[in-house]
A and B are shown apart, each in its own frame.
Chain A
């Protein structure tokens, strides 16, 4: 087909081959383009739906959490740790700012200014998503039972397979005793 077009040896009685080529290419392009355009809706339907996205923020009353206590709430289907840290925990976290950290961050970067006692973390291990427990591990913070990741009192990864610190979600203080997460 292409040869005939290039050589321009149009046989009598036949339509101009370049016109036929054009129709073939146009038809294939339209078909392929249409199919490609249809792929996205079929993939995107898997992504979070509007009602799932609508439930994305929660408010929490901090007066429920005494010093040295931790409350776990459910946020976006995952556990969320709200921890009222003791002075000792804060001091340990600040002291380790200069230690060698796999995912370097200072303690101050992980809490709101002037609210060092409040640590708000997504309670989902950054390795494979298990829920770490507080009090275990070598660094006084959280320990993930699944594959042995150790986090310190600031929720920073110190040892084990997890690559990142426990995630600090987007949150703000609505008042001194109330936070809005998400």
Chain B
């Protein structure tokens, strides 16, 4: 895709460097001269947005560590110390805490973009799987980070999640003890979570490098899902993608700033401002919002091991996605049926998130008790999450494989440039069609 490098060092110093470590050439080929499909829309700016999130989390995180005390006795007080006493500590911590939420908002949009436009299909399977690995690492990092303030939600969240692994037969209990370093979540647990929370972002950064490498080998997908065939189909990364990314990042940062400055605790839980107490569980324990759909899947299954397997399976199925989708057409823009099922999936994921935040036995429609079938109250969140879970797995395991065989896709254009060039608006002089050719 990238082809031959067109970089020519202009000064003696860059020439000298280029023959020893061609790092400027790498940057030039990757971010200036790199050909990007000419039809990328704003959903394609989330790669850049996610890079900004990762860098922001690492910088604010390293600063927080300078003031944080990783011990069960001192953690909670040191977080309050950051909030009240450290100069601008509140800002750095709110950036970090809300930054995690922003990171997940961006990654969910990025993943749904990939899902909708078929970015996981050949030759981008490895690219997609690397993305899934990044997502898994993000979830582990986010979870361990949430434990560090050692509030009530931190503590009991850690208890619940580490107990999940105890569901596995034979080895489960040993794994849980190994994670705890004791008989319960305690000081050793906090210390090792702290160490891993510091490590994992750098592992994420490593996998991000592989992710971008794989991206530059296969080339970017685009809204049409048609591979670029000639120079007319692409534009250089700079200025086109650079400026578009910069605009996307700016809008995203405005949203980020609104959270930091106007509603910094909107996405958190008030109980986490109560110091951890192993003897009392908060009446309503919920994870951070970005885990809620998976939490709902966990609770949807009435069996402990089954619930845990379903929850991990919900992520596991994403790894198999490139081989589950049998359609030859990449972009759902040309797949009317798939588009519809995708929209339902989107709604179902939101419903699952909603169910995850509610008590399982509460009524979905208040004061309505008629939907009783034998012993089951179908008007409860647990039943709603069961139906939603069924659709979630059904989408990946049944609908996508079958749809590829039975669906009649719309005609797919030959090249990226053809619809743009044949568009009436660009007919008169072609100036709009290929601005990069005009110098």
From B159, B182, B188, B299, give the contact of A161 (CB < 8 A): B299
Count of chain A residues near B, Cβ 8 A: 28
Q: Is the CB of A46 within 8 A of B178?
A: yes
| Nearest neighbor of B179 in chain A, beta-carbon distance | A46
Rounded to whole angstroms, the CA-CA distance of A47 and B279 in the bound complex is: 23
Q: Which residues of A contact B282 (CB under 8 A)?
A: 145
B281 CB-CB contact with A under 8 Å: yes
Quick one: CB contact mask for A25-53 with B, threshold 8 Å, 1 for yes?
00000000000000000010011110010
Chain B positions 117-139 with a Cβ under 8 Å from a chain A Cβ: none
Q: Is the CB of B159 within 8 A of A52?
A: no
Quick one: CB contact mask for B151-178 with A, threshold 8 Å, 1 for yes?
0000010011111100000000000011
Count of chain B residues near A, Cβ 8 A: 35
Q: Which residues of A contact B283 (CB under 8 A)?
A: 145
A78-B184, A130-B156, A131-B280 are known; give 13 further A-B pairs, CB within 8 A: A43-B178, A46-B181, A46-B192, A48-B183, A74-B278, A76-B184, A77-B182, A77-B184, A123-B279, A124-B184, A128-B163, A146-B160, A146-B281
Q: Number of A-B pairs whose CB atoms are under 8 Å?
A: 85
Q: Which residues of A contact B280 (CB under 8 A)?
A: 131
A95 CB-CB contact with B under 8 Å: no
Most chain B CB within 10 A, of A43, A52, A147, is at A147
CB distance from B270 to the nearest CB of A (A): 16
Q: Is the CB of B183 within 8 A of A77?
A: yes
Q: Which residues of A contact B164 (CB under 8 A)?
A: 128
From B161, B183, B303, B360, give the contact of A148 (CB < 8 A): B360
Rounded to whole angstroms, the CA-CA distance of A53 and B183 in the bound complex is: 9
A56 CB-CB contact with B under 8 Å: yes
Rounded to whole angstroms, the CA-CA distance of A147 and B302 in the bound complex is: 10
A140 CB-CB contact with B under 8 Å: no
Q: Which residues of B contact A46 (CB under 8 A)?
A: 178-179, 181, 192
Rounded to whole angstroms, the CA-CA distance of A143 and B184 in the bound complex is: 20
Q: Is the CB of A52 within 8 A of B182?
A: yes
Chain B positions 99-152 with a Cβ under 8 Å from a chain A Cβ: none
Interface residues of B (CB under 8 A from A): 156, 159-164, 177-186, 188, 192, 278-285, 299, 302-304, 307, 359-361
A82 CB-CB contact with B under 8 Å: no
Q: Is the CB of B279 within 8 A of A74?
A: yes
Q: Which residues of B contact A127 (CB under 8 A)?
A: 163, 304
Q: Is the CB of A56 within 8 A of B279?
A: no
| Nearest neighbor of A45 in chain B, beta-carbon distance | B181
Q: Which 4 A-B pairs have the closest CB atoms?
A: A77-B184, A76-B183, A129-B163, A130-B281
21 of the cross-chain contacts (CB-CB < 8 Å) are A43-B178, A48-B177, A48-B180, A48-B182, A52-B181, A52-B188, A56-B183, A72-B279, A76-B182, A77-B183, A128-B163, A130-B156, A130-B159, A130-B285, A131-B279, A145-B281, A146-B160, A147-B299, A148-B361, A161-B302, A162-B304
Rounded to whole angstroms, the CA-CA distance of A76 and B178 in the bound complex is: 15
Rounded to whole angstroms, the CA-CA distance of A36 and B345 in the bound complex is: 45
Interface residues of chain A: helix, strand, loop or mixed (majority)? loop
From B159, B186, B359, give the contact of A129 (CB < 8 A): B159
Q: Which residues of A contact B162 (CB under 8 A)?
A: 129
Q: Is the CB of A78 within 8 A of B183?
A: yes
Q: Which residues of A contact B181 (CB under 8 A)?
A: 46-49, 52
Rounded to whole angstroms, the CA-CA distance of A124 and B281 in the bound complex is: 10
CB distance from A134 to the nearest CB of B (A): 13
| Nearest neighbor of B160 in chain A, beta-carbon distance | A128
CB distance from A77 to the nearest CB of B (A): 3
A135 CB-CB contact with B under 8 Å: no
Rounded to whole angstroms, the CA-CA distance of A52 and B280 in the bound complex is: 22
Q: Which residues of A contact B299 (CB under 8 A)?
A: 147, 161
A79 CB-CB contact with B under 8 Å: yes
Q: Which residues of B contact A77 (CB under 8 A)?
A: 182-186, 278
A104 CB-CB contact with B under 8 Å: no
Q: Is the CB of B182 within 8 A of A79?
A: no
From A56, A78, A147, give the contact of B360 (CB < 8 A): A147
Q: Which residues of A contact B307 (CB under 8 A)?
A: 161
Q: Is the CB of A131 within 8 A of B281?
A: yes
CB distance from B347 to the nearest CB of A (A): 25
CB distance from B290 to the nearest CB of A (A): 19
Rounded to whole angstroms, the CA-CA distance of A55 and B178 in the bound complex is: 18
With A47-B177, A77-B183, A161-B303 as contacts: A145 and B284 at CB distance below 8 Å: yes
CB distance from B275 to the nearest CB of A (A): 15
